Structure 1
Amino acid sequence: MIIFDKTEQGRAEIATRGQTVGPRLRTLLLLVDGKTADDELLRKVAGLGLGQEHLDELLQAGLIQISSSPATHAAAPIATASITTTTPPLRLLRQQAHQKQQQWVQRFLQNRFCRQGKPSSKRFIIFTTIQSKA
């Protein structure tokens, strides 16, 4: 995890709206704040088609630099750890979605194959067969 900050040249580029970088790179440059980790920055601009090579391009152009503040490096892992502990695990979300889907199918089959609580003979056989397999 690397945290980048704007250089004086990068701040001047933003302030004067210079034409050194294109609009997509300007967006990435605007997001560099000296607090956000590189992986978080790249996730924010992934929809624009920007990746690590674009951060490297800004670094080589002298518009950003690796942050030297130890406080920002220490604070970033704590912030991300609190976010990950509050979100439910992916496995739990999948189980909940599967349970909802099973309940929906069961209600659908009951409504489709049982009329007014009384199943017809063929429909009842199909319904009970499917229900017993679930």
Structure 2
Amino acid sequence: MKVVLASARRKTARARVVVKEGKGRVFINGVPLEILEPEVVRLKIMEPILLAGDLVKNIDIHAEARGGGIMGQASAIRTAIARAILEWSGSEELKKLYLAYDRHLLVEDPRQAEPKKPHGRSARAKRQKSYR
């Protein structure tokens, strides 16, 4: 039985995906994708699956995400799913399709939130200085 493992990161979220032969079921943190809430997250995660089309009909996808927020996890999961499906199929056409649709389906976004500094409200903002 063929099993493919893939992982991805987004901000502080980490995602792992296992793809194996099955009936086309998709589980995100143990929850079926069809009933995953909120809908924005569900649609974001479904993008690589919808683009792959019939390739996904005979595989099961199990995704787990840890850390970060809900959208960071969704982005990490979608990248990991796209990578896993690509490795499973080995299709060069699918790779071109993913890259043309959205480069972040295969390439991670390395940006991270800058840490807060002392004497300020956020990473860059400081208290205004008054001379009068």
Q: Which has the larger radius of gyration?
A: 1
TM-score, normalisation: structure 1: 0.26
Q: Which structure shows the bigger proportion of residues in strand conformation? A: 2
Choose between structure 1 and 2 for higher RCO, CA contacts under 8 A separated by at least 6 residues: 2
TM-score, normalisation: structure 2: 0.26
